[in-house]
Structure 1
Amino acid sequence: MAGHSKWANIRHKKGAQDAKRGKIFTKLIKEITVAVKNGGPDADSNPRLRLAIQNCKGQNMPKDNIERAIKKASGAGGEDYIEVTFEGYGPDGAAVFVECATDNNTRTVSAVRSYFNKFNGSLGKDGCLQFIFERKGIFVIATEDVSLEEDDFMMEMIDGGAEDVDFEDPELISVSCAMEDFGSVQSKLNDLSIEPKEAGLKRIPTTFKHLENKNMENFEKLIDALEDNDDVQQVYHNCENYDE
C-alpha cells in the first residue's frame, strides 16, 4: 500500500508564507460560501460545509473567521458564486485542469484563457481530459495525530475503504480512496478521533508528462498565474517533474 505517491503534485503544502496563507484563506472562505449557498448554514446537515470547516481548521484558520464567513454567506448580502471548470494543455502538452468559483464568469474565462495563451498553452473542450484525470478521495493527516503503529493504521484505513496509504513524508500521511468510498473513509477517521489537515475529492492524473527544461519555465509561470487568481480554487496537472 505504501510507496511512491501518484498524487505528489497536489500534496499538502507546508510552511506557507503569510501572503500564500492569505490566498489559501480566501479560497477556503469562498468554499464555505458556496457550501452554505448550496446546502445551508448547518454543518450537521451539510456535508460540504462540514468538510470546508474541517479544511479551514487544518489550515489553522481562526474560529471567528470561519463563523463570520458562514454568517455572511447565510445573509442576503452574501456573494453568489458559480462553479466552473477549464481543461487545457500547457507547454509540451502537459494536461492542466482548473476548478473555479466566480461571481463573474466572463472575467474568469478571459483571465484563464489569457494565462494559457501567454505561457504557450491552449484551452481545450470540456471533457478533453476525462481520460487523464480521475476523481479520488484524498485525506492528508498529521503523523503526530495518529497514535497507531503504521501497519495498524493502514489496516484500519483499508477496512474503511482506502486504496492507498502513503507514509513517505515523516510529518504527513496521505490516504486515498475511490470517490464513492470518501464518506466511509471519513467515518473511519472520525471513529479513530483523527481530524485530517486536508480532505476532499481531488483530480488525480492517470498518465504523466515529463517536461523538457526548455518548457518548464513557461509551465511554472502558467501554474503560478492560475493559482494566484482569486477565482481559481484548485489547479491539477500531470507534469511529473514539476517541483511544487
Structure 2
Amino acid sequence: MTYVESIKVWGSPPEFALSQIKQVHNAEIFLNALKNPNGTLGVVPHFGNWELMNAWVNQHTHPVIMYKPSKNKDLDRFMLESRQQLNATLVPTDDTGVRALFKHLKQGGFSAILPDHIPKESGGVYSDFFGQKAFSSTLLSKLAAKTQCSVVGLTCIRRADYSGFDLYFTALSPDINSKDLQLSVDTLNKEMERMINVAPEQYLWGYKRFRKLEGERNLYKS
C-alpha cells in the first residue's frame, strides 16, 4: 500500500472503498469468529491495503482500534475523522488503550492489530520471522491468551490485473491462544509469513521490520 492510496481511502466515502473490493474469500471464517462471546482479534500485517478493508469489515462490527497519532496535526485529524466514520472507536497505543481493547474483547467485541511492528523493550520477545530472529510484539498474544478470543487473519491484496483488491480471511492456529507466550508469538509470526507469502511483493518491506534482531543487530546497518 502506498501513502497516496491511504490518502485516497481516507478522503473518500466508504462506498469508494467497497467498490474497490472485487471479491471476498472465506467471509464465513470472519463472521463465525464474531460469534465468540470472548471477542475476536484480527491479525493484519503491514501487507496489501489494510486501510481499504475497514469499510467491508466495519459493516459487520464496531471495532476498537489502537491508534498512534501522527506528528502532523492536520494529517492526524484527517486520518482520525476518516477512520471514525467507519464505526470505529480509536484508542491510544498506551496502557489506557490496552485496557479499553481488553474490555471490548471481554464484551464480545472486535479489534484488529498490526502485530508485525517493532515494540518497546518491555513489549516483545525474539522470534523467527522470515529467517531472522526479530524482536516481536507480545500484545496480541497476551490478549488472546487472557480472553481466549477468536483470532483471524485479514488481508486485502491487489489483483494481478490492477482492477481492484480481494479481501481474504484466514483461519489461524489455536496455538496463538496459548498461555505459553513464546509459542504464541512464534506461531503468530509463522502464520503471518503464510499470509504474506500469498503475494510477498505486496508486503511493506520498507517498514524495516528487521531493525532490532537478536544480539542487538540491525539488518539495515553494516
Q: Which protein is bigger by CA-based radius of gyration?
A: 1
TM-score (norm 1): 0.24
TM-score (norm 2): 0.25
Structure having the larger proportion of residues in helix: 1
